[in-house]
Chain A
C-alpha cells in the first residue's frame, strides 16, 4: 500500500495509539481495560504501521524480533508468579510493594506483581500478533494459485 494520506495519518496516530494502549493496560485493574485489550490495541498499531510503511519498516520500529517480545512477555508473567511464590509462598499470588490496604482502602502506587503479569500478557499479544502478521505478509504467493470452486 502506498498512500500518502495513510502514511501521514499513521505518523500522527502512532503516539496516540501507544498512549491509549498503555493507559488501557495501566487502568485495567480498576476500570475497563487490561493486558489483553491493551495488547490488542498495540497490535493494531503495529498492523497500521506495517500497512503504511511495509514489513521491514515495522520490524525496525519494533526494534526487537516480535517472537522475542512475546517470549519476554511470557517470562514476565512467569516471573510475577515466582515473585508471588517468593513473597507469599504461593505461585502467582499478588504482591503490592507500593500499595497498602489502610483501613479497607488501598493507598499508594498500584504497581506490583499483578501489573507485571498484565504487562506480560500485553507483550505476548503484541509479539504473537505482529510475528504472524509479518510472516503472513512475507510469505510467498503459491505459483499454482488458481481459483477453484
Chain B
C-alpha cells in the first residue's frame, strides 16, 4: 500500500502545485489545501503503514500487544491537520482581504507592495 500512497502523494502534490500556480487566489487556496493533505500522507507513509491494531493499550494490559501501528507519525499528523486547518483559515481570510482591498483575485495584478516601475 505504501507504493500506492507514494503515487497518490505525488499526484496530490502535482495537482496542488498546478492549482497554486494558476494565478487565481481562489484556486490557490484549493491547491494549498490539497498540498497540506499530501504532506500529511507523506508523513504517514514514511512511518510505515501496516494493517495492524491501533496504538491502544488494551484494558487490563500494561502495554499494547506487539505489532500495533506506529503512534509517532499519527501524533505528528494529528496536530499537522489542525495546524493545517488554522493555516487554511488564515489563507482564506487573507485571500478575501486581498480581493477586498485590490478588487481582483488575479495574483499578477496585485502590485501594491512592488508597483510597476516606469522604466523604458
Contacts and interface: CB of A to CB of B under 8 A. Distances in A.
Most B-side CB within 10 Å, residue of A125, A135, A148? A148
Interface string A109-146: 00000000000000001001100100110011010110
Contacts, number: 35
| Size range of the chain B interface in the assembly | 20 to 34
A128 B86 CA distance: 8
Contacts of A140: 100
Nearest to B92: A136
Interface in A18-74: 30-32, 36, 40
Interface in B26-62: 54, 56-57, 59, 62
A148 B86 contact: no
Query: What is the interface residue range for chain A against chain B?
Result: 10 to 19
A40 B79 CA distance: 12
Contacts of A125: 82
A144 B100 CA distance: 8
Contacts of A104: 62
Contacts of B89: 128-129, 132
A31 B56 contact: yes
Contacts of B92: 136
B82 A144 contact: no
Given A132-B89, A136-B96, 5 more contacts: A40-B82, A135-B93, A142-B99, A142-B103, A144-B103
Interface of B: 24, 54, 56-57, 59, 62, 78-79, 82, 86, 89, 92-93, 96, 99-100, 103-106
